[in-house]
Amino acid sequence: MTGTLSSARKHIGVTVGPTLSDPSVMKKQIEQFDAIIIGAGFGGLYALHHLRDEMRLNVRAFDGASGVGGTWWYNRYPGARVDAPGSPFYAYTFSKELVNEWEWTETQASQATVLSYLEHFAKRFNLEKDIQFETWVTDSQWDEAHQQWVVETDSGEFASAQFLICAVGALFVANMPDYPGIHDFSGELYHTGRWPHEHVPFAGKRVGVIGTGSSGIQSIPEIAKEADHVTVFQRTPQYSLPARNRPLTSEELAGYREAWDSLRDSMFKRGGWPFEIMRRHASDYTPEERHAIYEALWEEGGMHLAINSFITVLMDEDVNEEVSEFVREKIRAIVENPETARRLMPDYYFATKRLILDNGYFETFNRSNVSLVDLREDPIESFTPTSVRTTNGGHAIDMLVLATGFDAVTGSMLNLNPKGRDGVSLERKWESRFETYLGTMVPGFPNLFMIHGPTSPGVLYTMPLGGERTTQWIADCIRHLRDNGLGAIEATDEAAEVWDREVNELANKTLYPKTNSWYVGANIPGKPRQFLAHIRGSRFFDKLSEVAEEGYEGFVVETKN
């Protein structure tokens, strides 16, 4: 954040109160819109299209990057791909024309393909003219008197709008490990979530990779193909399933297009998943039959082992352990060196961290140029200009890749840190608990909407579709306000409390909260522990509709000033 709203106001010779109540100054100093959108990734782009073209609102979007794409703009590390469900479902679903005109060529599209798709989307709907790129929103403040949000950008501009839509990304604020002395390392240093746009050559280099989440597991096999040596620094061994990425045939794509309406309908009903889900119980099968089911699902690849094995896999410890052991067996069978295989054995509940899909990750450890350091047995002690030193010795490297993830779900909203009613900041509001109503609004922050906010289904749902559905709800809410001469809508504390309980109760029926994952904020030291996602996506969107039908139950509204 560079400066505050009031300090910059001072800079241009005005103060907060009088400025905002003086229309002539406002016209000169502050550009006015109906809605401001922060972020031009999947969520923000659709919000811009929908609010501007369907609702006919005057909208401005801001993004710090120099192009559209959000997550797909930043995460350019080698091997970055979509996980499940893959093409053509990880895409906008609302326009059949769009579905029919974009030619997906692989089941798990690469980052470059997804970025091209988003660029195509922006061009097709002429969105770029209303996006201000390379512009960070550094501050945002609710202006009570005018029932509007005023935002400040890093270029010292101000803009205001009745509605503020935060499409700031659930996985944006990079988690930089705070190892003392890490800056003593003088070689090339990258974070996967901030990968350079220029080609990064690995040939002839010794590369260290810290982190074995999706980003590490996707990038390590690609880096190993080129580098002299790759040293993987692993803190938690992972379950990873074969992505089985392959070309998507034109017949398959044609079939999906043909059946689009029913597949989309299925996504609505099945938590964003387009295909039928087996609703079977492990106890109805013999151990041999169950094993055969796991084998078939492993061969099928993708997330099927988690989604389609047994319905209690994320609730029943015994079923979960059986699937966990099945994956461990696979790792033992793939990895030739038994000591390396031992270090790669995951021991948390299967699928309670975000599931990872890989393209040859475990196989990579059979290469002679890849070695594994288990940080639990052999922790990092220091860095030198040319090495990482762990308890058992030094590891010479020329390049360090941090695949250490993000301050997930809440980090980007806190980075924005809007100031709501009475100037109370989001940071203060969320000091001990990430309180929201419907994962979309926060008490004390009228007319501020989040796409993929905490306690929304977020990453547990197919995100582009989740963004569409959330935006449609936001748009209906805005229409409701406008049609009824209302100036503001705000979630009540009571509704947020009930919501919080409901989200928690759902999560506590599963094994998710028992694992230290970014779903509970455990990857960020000091972050309040709270399960951050609504685990029943379809039920979540039904609830959004019910709340609207009931006249926005759980909200208070104000007439327009």
Binding status of residue 462 toward ligand N01 by CB under 6 A: no
- The binding track of 36-55 with respect to ligand N01, each residue x by CB under 6 A or -, is --------------------
What backbone torsions phi and psi does residue 173 show, to the nearest 5 degrees? -75, 115
Please report where in the chains the tokens 């929304």 appear, as a residue: 456
Binding status of residue 216 toward ligand N01 by CB under 6 A: yes
Binding status of residue 213 toward ligand N01 by CB under 6 A: yes
Q: How far is CA 88 from the centre of its chain?
A: 19
240 beta partners: 356
For ligand N01, give the closer residue by CB, 84 or 131.
84
- The binding track of 513-542 with respect to ligand N01, each residue x by CB under 6 A or -, is -----x----x-------------------
Binding status of residue 407 toward ligand N01 by CB under 6 A: no
H or E element that contains 325: helix 317-334
Which residue from 243, 177, 150 is spatially nearest to 400, judged by alpha carbons? 177
β-strand 229-234 against 370-374: which pairing, if any? Answer: parallel
Please report where in the chains the tokens 């393209």 appear, as a residue: 359
Residue 377 exposure: Cα atoms within 13 Å on the Cβ side = 10
For ligand N01, give the closer residue by CB, 328 or 354.
354
For ligand N01, give the closer residue by CB, 29 or 214.
214
Could you tell me the CA-to-CA distances from 469 to 69, 237, 404, 536, 538 in Å, in that order? 19, 35, 30, 14, 11
Interface residue with ligand N01 among 107, 153, 162, 214 (CB under 6 A) is 214
CB of 354 to ligand N01, least distance (A): 3
- The binding track of 143-172 with respect to ligand N01, each residue x by CB under 6 A or -, is ----------------------------x-
Span from 51-59, 206-214, 498-506, 537-545 in contact with ligand N01 (CB under 6 A): 206-214
Span from 272-280, 329-337, 402-410, 532-540 in contact with ligand N01 (CB under 6 A): 402-410
* 3-state DSSP assignment of residue 192: helix
What backbone torsions phi and psi does residue 81 show, to the nearest 5 degrees? -145, 165
Binding status of residue 211 toward ligand N01 by CB under 6 A: yes
- The binding track of 345-384 with respect to ligand N01, each residue x by CB under 6 A or -, is ---------x--------------------x---------
**Residue nearest ligand N01, CB atom distance:** 213
Are the beta carbons of 177 and 210 closer than 8 angstroms? yes
* 3-state DSSP assignment of residue 328: helix
For ligand N01, give the closer residue by CB, 132 or 214.
214
Q: What is the CA radius of gyration of the chain?
A: 24
Interface residue with ligand N01 among 177, 187, 513, 554 (CB under 6 A) is 177
H or E element that contains 504: helix 493-508
Contact residues toward ligand N01 (CB under 6 A) are 80-83, 171, 175, 177, 192, 210-216, 218, 235-236, 354, 375, 403-406, 459, 518, 523
